[in-house]
């Protein structure tokens, strides 16, 4: 394969007149690439709330533009009636139909992740499989994006900025793996079957460990249910809702909902928290149609002040035609999320018997060898520390102090091309979002003479208010907890393992007396008045969330001397 040429990119006013003028201004070679080859185009208009954009591909840009200019559709009328609408036209000598479709899809993925983009008018991507020039996709796209960045750095920011955004990582425009495609097709088939039989409260379970690609699958599923022609009959008679009991992940979904103009045909927003959603159903005296639950392990199984229903999942099944629940039982974080009887096991068995059970087995986050992943899983699942050989693709390092760990994470975070790195810790230090500590400015993680603010303590700029904790720039000077990083990934995860995790007699143990996570370690009062404690298992789940955040590396410092010594000795 020879050297890949740079693309031809022209920016013009959005009009027939500008296209005609462009034909006369271009050289013969460029004119051929723009007007005789398949091309891509990006129509964009800068408004008060950000850019509205449309990405398309065509083999005849003049005919296609004429169609758009006369089309009686609200979004196109907005573009054609504005004096500030522009259009980028992108040509390349290697463009063919499949390649332009793939690049169109990736442009939608990138642009939907740009903060200044307020809406993406077209939402139907069409990712391709293998074709003659598919191996050139990455190189050609990178050249296109860099060229666009030079023309408008606000609409087309550096790739590292785009890829580090939480919206990018949760976007429905990601090209799914074969496992994810198979899972999505099965879910849609099962939804169709349930609606056809007029069943009520059908449960479809999707199980996957941390990093299995659950969130991208759910995001893509919701977008298909709302926009695909193949699912039109589903949404015509049913609302589509996406439920997640995680504040930061909900904020990401709300941004996607706004940018893509998700609409379910119901009185409710598409993305909501479960308590808010169920309370609204009761208030409006309506039932739900199709409910997709991300991070299903975070649903409540007991009453609280805001929600008197008792059990989120049971209530969702009672009020919905179909519930698709994606979950990982090893990420349950709070006693109020624990199933205290066998009812979930029964639901799981029923789903398996009805072929309504899907398991995702691919590890898509941690870019490490099988032996490295096994070393991490053995710490969490088997509470043992085996020997670990150096992994050329994944960096694991044990630090002698929290300060050295923090310095290393800050150094890694400076290289944003690889992604965001952050310091995170087990919940072993006092924290309250309702009050300030005595004689201190912030709640802090304190180890010997080292101190660092806990999550959400440092002041943040209002312009970052929509971003998740990991994306906000000031959080490089904080320590995050499971409550801020669950569901997200980091380039390098710097994990402080606090005093609740110890190493004794060759085994890792969990000491609930050292944890400050009251929701995990305090007793739960059962309906019969009996008190149960789930602390050790929930602290294990807490460690699971923290140790599985790093995409390219995991840095660790342990407060417990024996655990620190054992960790260092395990690395060969």
For the cut 60, the answer to whether the pLDDT of residue 194 exceeds it is yes
pLDDT score of 51 more than 60: yes
- pLDDT for res 462: 84
Task: Quote the percentage of the chain above a pLDDT of 70.
Answer: 98
Confidence band, pLDDT 50/70/90 cuts, at residue 489 = very high
**Higher local confidence (pLDDT), 72 or 234:** 234
3-state DSSP percent of the chain in helix, strand and coil, to 5 = 45, 20, 35
- Residue 71, pLDDT score: 83
CA 41 to chain centre: 27
Q: Tell me: the pLDDT tens digits for 118-157?
A: 999 876 667 777 777 788 999 999 999 999 999 999 999 9
Reported confidence tier of residue 465, pLDDT bands at 50, 70, 90: confident
Per-residue confidence at 266, pLDDT binned at 50, 70, 90? low
Confidence band for 424, pLDDT divided at 50, 70 and 90: very high
pLDDT value at position 2?
A: 59
DSSP state of 396: E
Say if residue 482's pLDDT is above 90. yes
pLDDT the model gives residue 124: 66
- What average pLDDT score do residues 21-34 get? 93
Average pLDDT, the chain: 93
What would the mean pLDDT of 474-480 be, rounded to a whole number? 96
Pairing of strands 531-532, 524-525: antiparallel
Query: Which range, of 136-145, 202-211, 352-361, 416-425, averages the lowest pLDDT?
Result: 416-425
- Tell me: pLDDT of 389 over 50: yes
**φ/ψ bin of 421: left (φ > 0), alpha (ψ from -120 to 50), beta (otherwise):** beta
Q: What is the mean pLDDT of residues 51-77?
A: 91
- pLDDT value, residue 1: 47
> How many residues can be counted in the chain?
572
Taking alpha carbons only, the member of 282, 302, 288 closest to residue 343 is 302
Q: What's the rounded Cα separation, in Å, for the pair 281 and 348?
A: 26
Mean pLDDT of 21-31: 93
pLDDT at 73: 82
Burial class (CB in 10 A: 0-12, 13-18, 19+), 88: buried
Neighbours of 566 (CB within 10 A): 19
560 Cβ neighbours under 8 A, 6+ residues apart: 497, 499, 501, 502, 503
> What pLDDT band is residue 369 in, cutting at 50, 70 and 90?
very high
**499 phi/psi in degrees, rounded to 5:** -70, -10
Q: How far is CA 158 from the centre of its chain?
A: 20
pLDDT at 526: 87
**pLDDT for position 353:** 97
pLDDT digits (tens, 9 = 90+) for 272-307: 999 999 999 999 999 999 999 999 999 999 877 777
Taking CA atoms, 392 is separated from 386, 405, 409, 413, in Å, by: 18, 21, 19, 20
Stretch 219-225: mean pLDDT, rounded?
95
Q: What is the pLDDT of residue 171?
A: 94
* pLDDT(464) > 90: no
464-478 CB burial, b ≥16 within 10 A, e <16: eebbbbbbbeebbeb
């Amino acid at each position: 394969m020879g050297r890949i040429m740079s693309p031809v990119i022209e920016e013009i006013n959005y009009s027939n007149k500008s296209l005609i003028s462009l034909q006369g201004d271009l050289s013969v070679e460029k004119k051929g690439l723009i007007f005789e080859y398949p091309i891509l185009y990006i129509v964009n208009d800068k408004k008060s709330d950000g850019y509205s954009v449309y990405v398309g591909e065509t083999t005849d840009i003049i005919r296609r533009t004429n169609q758009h200019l006369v089309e009686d559709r609200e979004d196109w009328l907005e573009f054609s009636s504005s004096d500030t609408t522009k259009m980028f036209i992108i040509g390349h000598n290697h463009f063919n139909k499949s390649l332009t479709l793939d690049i169109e899809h990736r442009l939608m993925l990138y642009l939907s992740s740009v903060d200044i983009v307020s809406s993406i008018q077209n939402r139907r991507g069409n990712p391709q499989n293998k074709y003659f020039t598919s191996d050139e996709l990455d190189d050609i796209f990178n050249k296109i994006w860099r060229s666009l960045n030079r023309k408008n750095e606000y609409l087309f920011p550096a790739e590292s900025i785009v890829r580090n955004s939480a919206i990018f990582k949760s976007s429905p425009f990601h090209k799914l793996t074969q496992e994810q495609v198979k899972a999505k097709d099965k879910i849609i088939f099962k939804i169709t079957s349930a609606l056809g039989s007029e069943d009520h409260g059908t449960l479809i379970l999707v199980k996957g460990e941390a990093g299995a690609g659950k969130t991208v699958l759910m995001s893509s599923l919701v977008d298909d249910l709302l926009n695909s022609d193949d699912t039109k009959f589903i949404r015509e008679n049913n609302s589509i809702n996406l439920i997640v009991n995680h504040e930061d992940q909900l904020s990401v979904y709300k941004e996607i909902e706004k940018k893509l103009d998700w609409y379910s045909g119901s009185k409710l927003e598409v993305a909501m928290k479960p308590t808010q959603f169920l309370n609204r159903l009761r208030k409006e005296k309506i039932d739900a149609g199709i409910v997709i639950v991300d991070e299903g392990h975070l649903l409540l199984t007991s009453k609280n002040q805001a929600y008197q229903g008792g059990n989120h999942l049971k209530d969702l099944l009672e009020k919905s035609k179909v519930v698709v629940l994606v979950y990982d039982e090893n990420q349950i974080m709070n006693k109020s999320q624990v199933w205290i009887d066998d009812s979930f096991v029964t639901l799981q068995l029923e789903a398996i018997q009805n072929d309504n059970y899907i398991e995702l087995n691919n590890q898509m986050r941690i870019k490490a060898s099988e032996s490295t992943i096994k070393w991490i899983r053995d710490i969490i699942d088997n509470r043992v520390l085996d020997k670990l050989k150096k992994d050329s693709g994944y960096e694991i390092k044990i630090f002698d102090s929290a300060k050295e760990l923090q310095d290393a994470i800050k150094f890694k975070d400076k290289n944003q091309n690889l992604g965001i790195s952050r310091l995170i810790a087990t919940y072993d230090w006092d924290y309250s979002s309702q009050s300030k500590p005595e004689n201190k400015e912030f709640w802090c993680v304190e180890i010997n003479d080292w101190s660092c603010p806990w999550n959400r303590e440092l002041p943040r700029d209002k312009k970052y208010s929509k971003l998740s904790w990991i994306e906000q720039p000031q959080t490089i000077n904080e320590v995050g907890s499971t409550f801020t990083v669950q569901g997200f990934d980091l380039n390098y995860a710097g994990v402080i393992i606090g005093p609740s995790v110890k190493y004794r007699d060759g085994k890792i143990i969990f000491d609930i007396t050292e944890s400050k996570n009251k929701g995990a370690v305090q007793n739960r009062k059962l309906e019969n008045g009996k008190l149960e404690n789930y602390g050790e298992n929930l602290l294990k789940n807490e460690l699971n969330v923290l140790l599985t955040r790093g995409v390219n590396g995991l840095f660790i410092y342990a407060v417990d001397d024996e655990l620190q010594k054992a960790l260092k000795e395990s690395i060969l």
